[in-house]
């Protein structure tokens, strides 16, 4: 959940503050409880760290450069110990010989700490990280790679680290276990980071470390080792497609609004890759490779948060269109539930980051039980993609805002394409119907653009409800998971309590909450269930509730005293793609009007790499 970055300057030294702070800014979405940097110059290592956002550290450091040969930095999402100056990274060992930054959790830190306490080590912070650095220092006798390796073998949990030694002015060691660590090969420096965006301004040439691997960065270049055996290993360099402009705000005030506005174009590009024309079959070589026969009996969909909501839409879509039974579970629930699975099952794991620990854990266990794994993922080379049999990349570009927007609609689009691919390949739907659906899917990006033109209307709705403290979102069928997603968006960035319900469930309890000041958002796409949603609305209005309706059948609601946001016509199955946009924009303005920090909401981090 933390962002880490290390840099080793190739010749001499450079302004490392000028490299580390912008790099940390790019990964700050991973955690923003505290920030710190350590820079090695001729006279030793200078450390600066501060509780709070990176901007506080930046203010403290001022304009002056900090020159050095090697440096590392960190933005923290607190796990062990409060977010204060003392617990901020980097952390020294008690004799100030070794310093490091760490992302993840050392699960056996209490045992290791007892062992180190018995050897006379004194601890200053409450972090598991301070245990790690003292363990490395315990093994250090001038050979840093060996010390990191020996300590790495003893540490359990998910962690990646960048490590420096005070007496090694041109050396940095990185180690990875279950959370990402990448090497960036720049012209003037080599980088170690938790995320490509940290060094994207300097290089797109990347080497991905796998679990149990180490990288040693020095004047001799970069060498890689297996932690268990100590054996040197060969690694390849890959070029990533993302560019630095994609990781910047591009004229918008927030990443969230920028990413909301990117949706028509990223979905258009995604469709162009897999469905250039409605007259052609869906092009998915990854599935051709994996699903040769019509022999899988169950699709298991796994994800967390927004990705889970995409999975829930996926169940309606795959069962309805591809006629294949689906099971949907939160990844963290699937991990500890022994649901029967067989080698005739296909698991579709959905994750923007490809680093979510819960999703990784569930996928590993389903794989071990014999399921084939297809991941729908945005981040090329991420951990999930490396354990999947095949990956369908959404290629939406970096999603920096903690609140997921474009990743969600791209995940949905990919699920529609998978459903159409299965239906076509195994003859599970009428050809004319499929052609019509493909035409309608290809028309979605333009309809999204039309919705974005009406942003002001949605901002007005947010003003209407700017004082409320609770909100229901109601939908049926494919609109039900969209209701859950709408509620999640509102909660996570505006801190307004919101719940997404299946419309039919209201009368079983939730309706008891309805009163003036507790509004409901009714999702009412044209469908055989439209009248059921009208009935839901009437039940709420008759109990003095207030209602906002998102619908492509606005005439049906004209005689009611409700706020209506109309969206363009489309087949019901695709309505989640269009309904999501007003809900995202509504959450955005609800948060803005309440003065919230939209891109970095409290208590959250973009990638949840701890269980
Ligand atoms: C969405 O707005 C959230 N920030 C969160 O629910 C997120 O979708 C979830 O943590 C899963 O992340 P992933 O897609 O990277 O696996």
pLDDT tens digit sequence for 209-260: 999 999 999 988 999 999 999 999 999 999 988 776 777 787 899 999 999 9
Range from 191-200, 396-405, 408-417 that averages highest in pLDDT: 408-417
Q: Whose CA is nearest to atom 8 of ligand 1?
A: 306
Q: What confidence score (pLDDT) does residue 381 get?
A: 81
Q: Which of 30-34, 95-99, 233-237, 605-609 shows the lowest per-residue confidence on average (mean pLDDT)?
A: 605-609
Concatenated DSSP letters of 20-35 = HHHHHHHHGGG--SEE
Atom number of ligand 1 nearest to Cα 352: 14
Q: Is the same domain home to 495 and 585? A: yes
- Cβ pair 180, 162 in contact under 8 A: no
CA 378 to chain centre: 9
Q: Is the same domain home to 128 and 163? A: yes
The residue that leads in pLDDT, 76 or 303, is 303
CA of 308 to the centre of ligand 1 (A): 8
Q: Looking at 416, 442, 468, which one is the last position of a domain? A: 442
Q: Is the same domain home to 470 and 490? A: yes
Q: Is the same domain home to 492 and 561? A: yes
Ligand 1 lined by 305 (C-beta under 6 Å):
yes
Average pLDDT, the chain: 92
State the residue range of the domain holding 544. 455-593
CA of 243 to the centre of ligand 1 (A): 23
Q: Is the same domain home to 436 and 490? A: no
pLDDT greater than 90 at residue 78: no
pLDDT greater than 90 at residue 526: yes
Is residue 197 domain-resident? yes
Catalytic residue from among 2, 311, 521, 570: 2
Task: State the maximum Cα–Cα separation within the chain, in Å, rounded to a whole number.
Answer: 81
State how far the Cα of 376 lies from the Cα of 275, in Å rounded to an integer: 17
Is residue 566 domain-resident? yes
Active-site residue flag, 162? no
Is residue 448 domain-resident? no
CA of 508 to the centre of ligand 1 (A): 29
pLDDT greater than 80 at residue 265: yes
Is residue 609 domain-resident? no
For the domain that residue 181 is a member of, what is the CATH number?
3.60.20.10
- Cβ pair 469, 499 in contact under 8 A: no
Ligand 1 lined by 356 (C-beta under 6 Å):
yes
CA of 46 to the centre of ligand 1 (A): 36
Is residue 603 domain-resident? no
Ligand 1 lined by 402 (C-beta under 6 Å):
yes
For the domain that residue 434 is a member of, what is the CATH number?
3.40.50.10490
Report the alpha-carbon angle 72-38-153, nearest 5.
55
Q: What confidence score (pLDDT) does residue 380 get?
A: 83
Pocket test for ligand 1, best of 29, 179, 305 (most atoms within 8 A of CB): 305
Q: How large is the average pLDDT for residues 53-79?
A: 89
Q: What confidence score (pLDDT) does residue 342 get?
A: 65
Q: What confidence score (pLDDT) does residue 189 get?
A: 95
pLDDT greater than 70 at residue 264: yes
Q: How large is the average pLDDT for residues 338-345?
A: 71
Active-site residue flag, 2? yes
Q: What confidence score (pLDDT) does residue 337 get?
A: 82
Q: Hey, CA dihedral for 245, 384, 256, 503, is it positive or negative?
A: positive
pLDDT greater than 70 at residue 294: no
Q: What confidence score (pLDDT) does residue 494 get?
A: 97
Is residue 599 domain-resident? no
Q: How large is the average pLDDT for residues 438-449?
A: 98
Is residue 607 domain-resident? no
Pocket test for ligand 1, best of 608, 609, 610 (most atoms within 8 A of CB): 608
pLDDT greater than 70 at residue 443: yes
Q: Which of 8-22, 341-355, 447-461 shows the lowest per-residue confidence on average (mean pLDDT)?
A: 341-355
Contacts of 126 by beta carbon, 8 Å cutoff, 6+ apart: 80, 81, 82, 87
Q: What confidence score (pLDDT) does residue 358 get?
A: 93
């Amino acid at each position: 959940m933390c962002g880490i970055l290390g840099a080793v300057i190739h010749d001499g030294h450079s302004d490392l503050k000028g490299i580390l702070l912008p790099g940390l800014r790019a990964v700050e979405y991973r955690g923003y409880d505290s920030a710190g940097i350590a820079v090695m110059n001729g006279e030793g290592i200078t450390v600066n760290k501060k509780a709070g956002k990176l901007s506080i550290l930046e203010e403290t450091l001022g304009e002056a450069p900090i020159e050095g040969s090697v440096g590392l930095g960190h933005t923290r999402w607190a796990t062990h110990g409060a977010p204060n100056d003392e617990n901020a990274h980097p952390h020294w060992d008690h004799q100030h010989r070794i310093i490091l930054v760490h992302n993840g959790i050392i699960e056996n830190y209490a045992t290791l700490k007892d062992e180190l306490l018995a050897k006379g080590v004194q601890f200053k912070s409450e972090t598991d990280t301070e245990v790690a650095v003292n363990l490395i220092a315990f093994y250090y006798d001038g050979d840093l790679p060996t010390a990191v390796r020996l300590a790495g073998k003893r540490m359990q949990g998910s962690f990646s680290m960048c490590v420096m030694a005070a007496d090694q002015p041109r050396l940095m060691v990185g180690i990875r276990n279950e959370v990402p660590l990448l090497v960036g090969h720049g012209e003037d420096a080599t980088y170690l980071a938790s995320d490509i965006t940290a060094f994207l301004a300097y290089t797109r040439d990347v080497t991905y470390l796998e679990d149990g691997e180490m990288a040693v960065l020095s004047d001799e270049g970069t060498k890689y080792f297996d932690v268990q055996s100590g054996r040197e290993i060969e690694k390849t360099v890959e070029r990533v497609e993302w560019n630095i402009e994609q990781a910047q705000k591009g004229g918008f005030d927030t990443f969230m609004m920028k990413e909301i506005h990117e949706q028509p174009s990223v979905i258009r590009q995604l469709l162009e890759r897999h469905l250039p024309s409605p007259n052609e079959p869906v092009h998915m070589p990854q599935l051709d490779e994996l699903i040769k026969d019509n022999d899988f009996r169950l699709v298991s969909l796994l994800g967390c948060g927004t990705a889970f909501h995409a999975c829930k839409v996926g169940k309606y879509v795959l069962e309805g269109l591809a006629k294949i039974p689906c099971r949907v579970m939160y990844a963290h629930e699937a991990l500890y539930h022994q649901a029967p699975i067989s080698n005739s099952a296909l698991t579709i794991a959905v994750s923007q980051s490809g680093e979510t620990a819960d999703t990784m854990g569930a996928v590993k266990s389903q794989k071990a039980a014999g399921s084939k794994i297809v991941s729908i993922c945005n981040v090329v080379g991420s951990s999930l993609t490396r354990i999947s049999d095949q990956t369908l990349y959404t290629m939406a570009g970096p999603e920096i805002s903690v609140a997921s927007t474009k990743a969600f609609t791209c995940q949905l689009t990919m699920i529609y394409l998978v459903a159409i691919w299965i239906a076509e390949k195994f003859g599970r739907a009428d050809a004319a119907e499929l052609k019509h659906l493909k035409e309608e899917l290809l028309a979605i990006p333009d309809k999204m653009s039309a919705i974005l033109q009406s942003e002001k209307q949605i901002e007005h709705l947010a003003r209407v409800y700017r004082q409320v403290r609770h909100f229901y979102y109601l939908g049926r069928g494919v609109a039900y998971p969209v209701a859950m997603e709408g509620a999640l968006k509102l909660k996570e960035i505006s801190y307004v309590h919101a719940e997404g319900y299946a419309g039919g469930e209201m009368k079983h309890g939730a309706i008891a909450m309805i009163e003036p000041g507790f509004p409901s958002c009714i999702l009412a796409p044209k469908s055989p269930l439209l009248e059921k949603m009208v009935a839901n609305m009437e039940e709420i209005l008759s109990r003095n509730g207030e209602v906002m309706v998102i619908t492509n059948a606005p005439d049906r609601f004209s005689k009611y005293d409700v706020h209506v946001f109309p969206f363009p016509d489309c087949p019901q199955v695709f309505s989640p793609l269009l309904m999501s946009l007003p809900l995202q924009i509504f959450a955005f303005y609800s948060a803005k009007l309440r003065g919230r920090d939209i891109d970095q909401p409290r208590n959250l981090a973009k990638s949840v790499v701890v269980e």
